[in-house]
Chain A
Amino acid sequence: DAGVTQSPTHLIKTRGQQVTLRCSPISGHKSVSWYQQVLGQGPQFIFQYYEKEERGRGNFPDRFSARQFPNYSSELNVNALLLGDSALYLCASSFINRGGLKRTEAFFGQGTRLTVV
């Protein structure tokens, strides 16, 4: 079975540009979350989406936005890139059933390494 897949794996952007990162969850998983991992630190929560609705947001500026599609894949958008946005962006998916009683742990993708120059 395919795990969580993210694209692209690496990306170099210039300050002020916009970037879109993509994530495909494990088949059957309807919950997708995004994390930012700056070098030398632990991942920081950015967003969670479940059933195409935003269910949680971390302490990130409005330059960060995301959405989830009907097939449960997700995109993370970052506008007006800053040098400090350089990081590994991780996507995680998990299964949550309709009643919320059955849940799995989060499975992470390999990440997209974004470098802003």
Chain B
Amino acid sequence: GEDVEQSLFLSVREGDSSVINCTYTDSSSTYLYWYKQEPGAGLQLLTYIFSNMDMKQDQRLTVLLNKKDKHLSLRIADTQTGDSAIYFCAEGPRGYQKVTFGTGTKLQVIP
């Protein structure tokens, strides 16, 4: 079955790098996503990686995928207070929206 797991909480100092980790179980997933959710808001897609890629970089964001271990990570460089939010890892085929989400990691950025 499908299952996505994340640690619940991460605290970093402003300016440091944040690394949020995720493990998934469905090896048939086509895409792996990172979403950001601020308090009282909907989901914002940050980035995604195709399952045959190892890494994707987009400005301050770096996604690493270890297909063997089914491990996905999101690195945020130079973390800012505005990055404080809940980050969801998710897996699923692109466009078809039966996306399976993790429980979310709450990122707290300390000024």
Q: List residues of A whose CB falls within 8 A of some B CB.
A: 4, 31, 33, 40-45, 48, 55-56, 58, 90, 92, 94-96, 100, 103-111
Contacts and interface: CB of A to CB of B under 8 A. Distances in A.
B99 interface: yes
Interface in B23-46: 31, 33, 35, 41-45
A108 B42 contact: yes
B98 A106 contact: no
Given A42-B88, A108-B44, A109-B42, 7 more contacts: A43-B88, A45-B99, A94-B97, A105-B45, A106-B95, A108-B43, A110-B42
A68 to B, nearest CB: 13
Contacts of A104: 94-95
Residue among B33, B95, B98, B104 with the highest chain A CB neighbour number at 10 A: B95
B34 to A, nearest CB: 11
Closest 4 CB pairs between A and B?
A: A103-B95, A42-B101, A33-B97, A108-B43
B88 A45 contact: no
Nearest to B43: A108
B98 to A, nearest CB: 5
A48 B97 contact: yes
B95 A111 contact: no
A107 B95 CA distance: 10
Given A105-B45, A105-B48, A108-B42, A45 B95 contact: no
Given A42-B88, A42-B104, A106 B99 contact: yes
